[in-house]
Amino acid sequence: MAIDSEVLVIGGGIAGMTSALSAARAGADVRLVSYKQSTLRHASGLVDILGYTPDGEGPLTDPYAAIPDLPVDHPYRTVGESTIRDAMALFDEAVPSYRGAHTDRNALVPTHGGTVKPTARYPASAAAGLASDERSVLLVGFESMVDFDGPHAAAHLEAAGVPFDVRGVTIRFPGDLRADAKVTRYAKLLDTDSEVSVGDRDRPVREALAERVGAELDGESRVGFPAVLGDDRAGTVRVALSESLGVDVFEVPMGPPSLPGLRLEDRLFGALDEAGVSIETGNPVVDYECGQPNGGDDRIERVFIEKNGARIPYSADEYVLATGGLVGKGVESDRERVSEPIFDCHVPHPADRYDWFETEAFGDHSFARFGVATDDRLRPTNADGGVEFENLRAAGSVLGGYDFAAEKSGSGVSIATGYTAGRGAAGVSA
Amino acid sequence: MSDAESPADTTTGGDSGDDPTFEPDEPNTGDSFEPVDVFPDSDDFDLRPGADSCYKCSTCDTNCPVAEVDDDFPGPKFQGPEQWRLKQTDDDYGVDDSIMDCSNCMRCDNACPSGVPLSQMHNTARGQYVDEQMSKTSVEYWRNRILANYRTSAWLASKVPRVANFAMNFGPARWVMEQTMGVTSEREFPAFATETFTDWWAAEGGAAGSRERAREARKRRGEPVDADKGIAYFHGCYAEYNTPEVGKALVRVFEHFGYEVVVPDQGCSGTPMFANGMVDDARRHAEVTVSSMADLVEEGYDAIASCTSCSMALRQEYPELFDIEGIDDLASHTFESVEYLRIHEDLSGAVREADVSDDVAEEFAYHAPCHARNQGLDRQAVELFRDLDGAEIEDVGESCSGISGTYGWKAEKYEKSMAIGEEMFEHMADADGETGMTECPTCAMQMEHGTGYEVRHPLELLETALVE
């Protein structure tokens, strides 16, 4: 026996989750397996479609307008513009706490480093912080949290030429948390509005925080905080602070580990649960087996999950490979070659490894575009262009042909290809 | 030299940045180039490769239930790779006291995208701390040792269960225990069963009786009567002394599917001992368990536990901490009970065709134990029972219950334990069901303590659904 489903999605990032959701919505019995818990909490929580062209032009005003000019092997060209729109509609419906769907145009969101990032969707918590808004801003950092420096971020935003006055301050977070307090500690205190000791008495933390920030306000009409304003009750925390301060409050997306990423992960898993998807994390898929008794080796029969030395078979009719790229370990390299570790799908790359990169650190590295090549149904292809397996589709950054970090296209490609792969696996033709 | 450095046979003098002959995009393949394996393969107990794999993303920290409520706890990244490195560079480095505040929930393992063996690092650091830095005459040491060796106290109590049940919850005695030993008087000790699981098992005819019943079941199921279906049940301490109904349910469910059950000699899984840094105690018990279970594994039996912490210990902590003959084979043949049936039988099909009336309960508030997570079992019960007619099961969320075995029994940690559990209590109160469900005995204790609900094991519901 094996643990059986109609569709098995391998990978728990945004591509895997979108694949599983779209396959389940199309009526399939779906199981999602992930080596570890989702890596979405490593992400800022912003959902980009396309911020820059592969040549570095941008920030782009309308990502959709740039798609016809992308290279033919770019995953967006494989799935096409209307599919990207359908996929984003699925995302918008599954994650109602996000904003940006009212327009095709990119929003400009300030980051914790004080840069401005073009993005297609952003959490409601970042909405009052948009750089296109001309109202003045106060950025508040906490002494004990070195990941966000208010004055530094403000100076960078000013240098970037934002159309509003911006000022940064650093305050002590009420209760004086230790220097390496976790982002979840801040969030938990604010979620539960716990008492913290301030001076010689205990006070609810939201009220104490608002008071310290209020003393710094000098007519600004919105206040930005590092993205630690609550986890389960982030909306309530923001409204409470905003009401006490009498101005709009927003979060500035942060690096890992990121609460907006964590909240997005929770919401997407909630959507998967509602759609009846089975989910399992903690152990890697390490191998596969082909072959019906009479068949060839062009269909995957089962894959194996390794648990402490045991190999547990999981079988399905259709498989989706959403294991990530070089960072996510869905694509691996050694001195000899670049490879896809589970199914050994072909990953096109130059034979000489000194051609994999450029000399400049931020040069146009070809390794950034390494990943599997596919046919027009997202099935990985071999060196001759034939499909590797009839029943395997790929989604997200395991795909080659695009540099998500330079283009700011990571989430969008994952959502669009996840949507396509999931529906294809469920038997919906494109 | 590493491949990242410039070749040695170029010009001398000056700093390499000015070296005119160094071309970073040219291969360094001159005669002088010899690739060196910087980190030679080491045995399982060298944690350096694990420490080197940490790229400081801090995701483990966001999964730590203690760091979320405790302002003094530095979190798993410090307790694991960072402290490990400090230990290597300074012979006088003492393991930080805060290691004793880690509850060994092991959630950080499941969080790490880079495969750092965090809980193994915590277990070894804690063992070293207790060995070398904790006074063996301190109240804390003996309190922890007694709590960790629950099996010994439970064995004694099981001889006189009624007296024990009265005495252990007798108010003045509990006050004295808190004052002298630091065992919180807030909690009620679990009741000891009047008949242990193994007494019941012997009365049922032991392995011979099970073989008969399994053969009957195979006949009924149309399977070959001599099919090779056998499991070795690791019941652990709690199903033995406190909840034998869980062990009985396991036996009946497995026999229903045609498995013959054997119940070998066994010690404690070691879970409470690892969590208290009592690694030597854990090893003594592991030796007993491995010696009997490994032989059975060789004969073709798989080792099955009904408690997720026991299965976790046998499959992960044993090979990570001990080098005992047969321990790796045992680890790779250990499974949690429901997991095993999902792999080898059409369990979801059987559940789909079954129904239950209200003799157990209709609605359950299910909590996934932390130790179920690394094993990939945290959603197993909800996903299995959502197809069962007559029962509703609702997941009460991903938070830790907070008790973490002996942790929440310590007077100084009781408040912290309840603060961690608060989220679970709230979600249980919000859920429709007023009966709890979990695989972990101490999570069950905490669920009951926080809500007053009765708590059942998934095997008990399976038994009701599948076994006449």
Residue-wise pLDDT tens digits, A382-407 = 999 999 999 999 999 999 999 999 99
**Chain A contact for B381 (CB, 8 A cutoff):** no
Question: Taking CB atoms and an 8 Å cutoff, what residues of chain B touch A184?
Answer: 61-62, 64, 67-68
- pLDDT above 70 coverage of chain B, percent: 90
Please check whether residue A62 is in contact with residue A104, taking contact to mean a CB–CB distance below 8 angstroms: yes
CB contact under 8 A, A41 and B62: yes
CA distance B56 to chain A (A): 9
In whole angstroms, how far apart are CA B448 and each of A83, B249, B432? 50, 21, 16
Q: Which CATH architecture has domain B352-466?
A: 3-Layer(aba) Sandwich (3.40)
CB contact under 8 A, B59 and A313: no
Is 90 exceeded by the pLDDT of residue B49?
no
- The span from the CA of B231 to the CA of A221, in Å, is 68
Domain at A112-252: CATH code? 3.40.50
Q: Residues of A141-176 as b/e, b for ≥16 C-beta within 10 angstroms?
A: bbebbebbbbebbbbbbeeeebebbbbbbbeebbbe
Q: Which of B24, B59, B110 sits opposite A282 (nearest CB)?
A: B110
**Which DSSP letter does residue A138 get?**
E
Q: Which of B332, B343, B373 sits opposite A282 (nearest CB)?
A: B373
Establish, for the pair of chains A and B, how many residue pairs have beta carbons separated by less than 8 Å.
Answer: 114
CB contact under 8 A, B68 and A188: yes
* Gyration radius of chain A's alpha carbons: 23
CB contact under 8 A, B344 and A41: no
Q: Going by CATH, does the domain composed of A3-100+262-425 fall within 1.10.760.10?
A: no
ipTM of the complex: 0.92
H or E element at residue A321: strand A310-321
Please check whether residue B246 is in contact with residue B306, taking contact to mean a CB–CB distance below 8 angstroms: yes
CA distance B333 to chain A (A): 7
Mean pLDDT, residues B128-132? 94
Q: Going by CATH, does the domain composed of B48-132 fall within 2.60.120.260?
A: no
CB contact under 8 A, B78 and A280: no
The alpha helices in A160-258, defined as continuous H runs, are 183-192, 205-214, 234-245
Question: Taking CB atoms and an 8 Å cutoff, what residues of chain B touch A257?
Answer: 57-59, 61-62
CB contact under 8 A, B61 and A328: no
Question: Taking CB atoms and an 8 Å cutoff, what residues of chain A touch B378?
Answer: 281
Q: The tokens of B119 are what?
A: 């809980």
Question: Taking CB atoms and an 8 Å cutoff, what residues of chain B touch A41?
Answer: 59, 62
All residues at 6 or more sequence positions from B413 whose CB lies less than 8 Å from its CB, including other chains? B101, B407
CB contact under 8 A, B27 and A354: yes
**Domain residue spans of chain B:** 1-36, 48-132, 139-181, 197-344, 352-466
- The span from the CA of A94 to the CA of A399, in Å, is 24
**Domain residue spans of chain A:** 3-100+262-425, 112-252
DSSP states of A337-358: -EE-TTT-------SSGGGSS-
Looking at the DSSP bridge assignments, the partners of residue A8 are A31, A319
DSSP strand pairing (A122-123 vs A137-142):
unpaired
DSSP states of A252-276: E--SSS-HHHHHHHHHHHHHHHHTT
CB contact under 8 A, B68 and A184: yes
The pTM (predicted TM-score) of the whole model is: 0.92
| Per-residue model confidence as pLDDT tens for chain A (430 residues) | 789 999 999 999 999 999 999 999 999 999 999 999 888 988 899 999 999 999 999 999 999 999 999 999 999 999 999 999 999 999 999 999 999 999 999 999 999 999 999 999 999 999 999 999 999 999 999 999 989 999 999 999 999 999 999 999 999 999 988 888 999 999 999 999 999 999 889 999 999 999 999 999 999 999 999 999 999 999 999 999 999 999 999 999 999 899 999 999 999 999 999 999 999 999 999 999 997 655 567 899 999 999 999 999 999 999 999 999 998 899 999 999 999 999 999 999 999 999 999 999 888 999 999 999 999 999 999 999 999 999 999 999 999 999 999 999 999 999 999 999 999 999 987 5
H or E element at residue A278: strand A278-281
**Chain A contact for B430 (CB, 8 A cutoff):** no
Length of chain B equals 468
Residue-wise pLDDT tens digits, B291-325 = 999 999 999 999 999 999 999 999 999 999 999 99
**Chain A contact for B335 (CB, 8 A cutoff):** yes
In chain B, the residue whose alpha carbon lies closest to the alpha carbon of A357 is B25
Residue-wise pLDDT tens digits, A37-49 = 888 988 899 999 9
**Chain A contact for B34 (CB, 8 A cutoff):** no
Q: Which of B335, B379, B386 sits opposite A279 (nearest CB)?
A: B379
CB contact under 8 A, B376 and A281: yes
Q: The tokens of B18 are what?
A: 């000015």
Is 60 exceeded by the pLDDT of residue B6?
no
Question: Taking CB atoms and an 8 Å cutoff, what residues of chain A touch B368?
Answer: none
Is 80 exceeded by the pLDDT of residue B28?
no
Confidence at B23, pLDDT banded by 50, 70, 90: low
Phi, psi torsion values for B8, nearest 5 degrees: -80, -20
- The span from the CA of A340 to the CA of A347, in Å, is 7
**Chain A contact for B420 (CB, 8 A cutoff):** no
Question: Taking CB atoms and an 8 Å cutoff, what residues of chain A touch B352?
Answer: none
Residue-wise pLDDT tens digits, B368-399 = 999 998 899 999 999 999 999 999 999 999 99
Long-range contacts of range A60-64, CB-CB < 8 Å, 24 or more positions apart? A60/A106, A60/A118, A61/A105, A61/A106, A62/A104, A62/A105, A62/A106, A63/A104, A63/A106, A63/A120, A63/A412, A64/A104
